[in-house]
Structure 1
Amino acid sequence: METLQAIARKIDGAQDLGSVVRTMKTMAAANIEQYEAALTSLHDYHQTVALGLAAYFRHEGLRTLPPSPPASAQKTVGVLALGSDQGLVGQFNDLLADYLTDHLSTLPGEKIVWVVGERLYGHLEGGTYHPARLYTAPYSVAAVTQLVGQVLQQLEESQRQEGITDFYLFHHQPVAQGGYLPTGQLLLPLDKNWYQQLLHTPWPTPCVPHVQGPSTPTLQALIREYLFVSLFKACTESLASENTSRLMAMQRAEKNIEEILQELTQRYHRFRQSTIDAELFDVVSGFELLGKD
């Protein structure tokens, strides 16, 4: 039979758990602000790189991208998926794993999948698209730089050794209404629509830009910076989405804990009142028996 002490212990445990949940909710909210600030500052850097590419293409007189090789079952497609290492993020990794699997099934050729985050790796492990490489998920803006450097280095090696022709990026992206949605983009080769928009982007100053130095190293440097800023932006959006998912999960947990605490408190008071009533009844009954004696 449940006792007052047992109910009191449950109340103490729920209160302790509620304190942990509130702490995690506060940390998630603080992290979201950190990553949103990074995304805001990253916009200017991305714009600078885009203008550099536009200046190069105009200087070289390139109005269209070189034609892509025809789709072939022999082509090799590189894929990077950004998940999480930690739990308590709701359906964050499940949604991305399903989205990734559905989209990869429509792409021709062999797929080489790299995954960021052990949780997402676990969802894909042993499936149709078993990950070939696992990266540790970053937990700060500073750690994102190191991750992006590792991915770019591996991409260059894989292009030489494994012949990767296309490179796709899959991650979660925050939405304006709150929450997040999975998204994917083709980083290499350059998207034709994006390229045409880039050529029509007006130069922000009256000075006409000029390209100094050899053309090939300049283009390689610009493409590398474009890949760097795109990967950095995607990682930051993924981290913001992860913390948004954790914040939403903690809000649900906090609501559940409050309901459990309310129910336990009511049960405690009812039990305590019934115990007091029983003791009073025993005292009154004993007093009446003594009076009769």
Structure 2
Amino acid sequence: MDTLENLRNKTQGAKDLKSVVSAMKALAGSNIIQYETAVSSLEDYYHTIALGIIAYFEAENIKDIKDPNEHQPKSDQTSCAIIFGSDQGLVAQFNDEMASFVSASLKGIPGKKELWIVGERVQLLLSDEGFTATKLYPVPSDLNAVTPLVTEILKQSRESQQKQEIATFYIFHNQPKPNSGYIPVMQRFLPLDSTWKNTLQELHWPTKLHPQIAGDAKMTLSALINGYLFTSLFKACVESLASENASRLDAMQRAEKNISDLLDDLNKKYHRLRQSSIDEELFDVVSGFEALNKDSQ
């Protein structure tokens, strides 16, 4: 049975926990702003890169974009899934939904699979599904840590392609929805697929003047393609971080409401128990007074 002291301790513990939750909610809200700003900036940068590639083909009078290495994964080839999750908990179903989405998606891809995973939590969930991580990366702690991670993944993906160890790369990450929430998405990263080419061909050079290439044409194209690949990975990572913090913010808001409800319940119990204790003390005083009156008579 609860006592006044016990209820006071529970109330203080709930207040301390609410302070921690409020701090985490504020931090998640602050992180979301910087990540959403980065995503918005990346969209402009990607558009510039895409226009640069269009300018190259316009300047070189190339009417069609062909990829002689385009192919679908075969049973004797290896595909790699680059998966973005989280290292920390308190993100609701963020990692669970990603793990389920990856598991279902990889079943439809033939051949051997490699998993390069960013985030220990999602790696543990995928291991329960029977998948083993080939590479495991820590989740960037802030925006400045994203570039080194993306650079390392790009470097290792190029090395694997040059050695012909991996034929196709896919990116899996959670993407923020326009209004609220997020959704797991998958995109083919390498080799550049027909969807990317068709999307690129829909863009048009914004002026009537024909673009010209300054410098070596092949080096220019290589720099533009490298910029596209870097932007694709960077965008996936930042969108995942924005989704993670949005999920954490939502979880913290629910936790804060639950703690507030708990505090209200504890306060009501405390006041009822305190009033009951006061009533008992008054009853004892009255009973003692009546006993003294009987003795004096």
TM-score by structure 1 length? 0.95
Aligned residue-pair number: 293
SS in 2 for 1:164: coil
Alignment correspondent of 1:237:
239
Matched residue type, 1:244: A
What are the ranges of 5 or more consecutive residues in structure 1 without an aligned counterpart?
Answer: none
1:84 aligns with 2:91: no
Alignment correspondent of 1:30:
30
Q: Which moved more, 1:151-160 or 1:236-245?
A: 151-160
Quote the offset at 1:3 in angstroms.
Answer: 1.2
Q: For residues 37 and 177 of structure 1, what CA distance do their matches in structure 2 show?
A: 15
SS in 1 for 2:167: strand
1:49 aligns with 2:49: yes
Quote the offset at 1:222 in angstroms.
Answer: 1.9
SS in 2 for 1:187: strand
Q: For residues 196 and 159 of structure 2, what CA distance do their matches in structure 1 show?
A: 26
**1:242-265 deviation digits (Å, cap 9, x = unpaired):** 000000100110111011111100
Check the 8 A contact 1:113/1:130 in 2, yes or no. yes
SS in 1 for 2:100: helix
Q: For residues 37 and 57 of structure 2, what CA distance do their matches in structure 1 show?
A: 31
Quote the offset at 1:71 in angstroms.
Answer: 4.2
Check the 8 A contact 1:84/1:137 in 2, yes or no. yes
**1:219-276 deviation digits (Å, cap 9, x = unpaired):** 3322211110011111111000000000010011011101111110000000000000
SS in 2 for 1:79: strand
SS in 2 for 1:204: coil
Q: For residues 177 and 108 of structure 2, what CA distance do their matches in structure 1 show?
A: 25
Quote the offset at 1:206 in angstroms.
Answer: 3.7
Alignment correspondent of 1:97:
99
1:1-40 equivalence runs, <5 A:
1-40=1-40
Q: Which moved more, 1:50-59 or 1:80-89?
A: 50-59
SS in 1 for 2:114: strand
Check the 8 A contact 2:46/2:231 in 1, yes or no. yes
Q: For residues 57 and 208 of structure 1, what CA distance do their matches in structure 2 show?
A: 11
Q: For residues 234 and 71 of structure 1, what CA distance do their matches in structure 2 show?
A: 22
Quote the offset at 1:78 in angstroms.
Answer: 1.7
**1:110-165 deviation digits (Å, cap 9, x = unpaired):** 11110001111111226433110001101211111111111101111111234322
SS in 1 for 2:174: strand
Check the 8 A contact 1:85/1:119 in 2, yes or no. yes
Quote the offset at 1:89 in angstroms.
Answer: 0.3
Quote the offset at 1:212 in angstroms.
Answer: 4.2
Check the 8 A contact 1:11/1:261 in 2, yes or no. yes
Q: For residues 164 and 85 of structure 2, what CA distance do their matches in structure 1 show?
A: 24
SS in 1 for 2:168: strand
What is the RMSD computed on CA atoms of the aligned residues?
A: 1.6
Percent of aligned pairs with the same amino acid: 50
Check the 8 A contact 1:85/1:137 in 2, yes or no. yes
Q: For residues 187 and 29 of structure 2, what CA distance do their matches in structure 1 show?
A: 27
What are the ranges of 5 or more consecutive residues in structure 2 without an aligned counterpart?
Answer: none
Cα gap change, 1:131 to 1:206, in 2 (>3 Å) = same
Alignment correspondent of 2:59:
59
Q: For residues 94 and 229 of structure 2, what CA distance do their matches in structure 1 show?
A: 25
Segments of 4+ moved more than 6 angstroms = none
Check the 8 A contact 1:49/1:225 in 2, yes or no. yes
Matched residue type, 1:155: S
Q: For residues 138 and 183 of structure 1, what CA distance do their matches in structure 2 show?
A: 20
**1:184-215 deviation digits (Å, cap 9, x = unpaired):** 00111223133123223121234322234444
Check the 8 A contact 2:176/2:182 in 1, yes or no. yes
SS in 2 for 1:184: strand
Matched residue type, 1:249: A
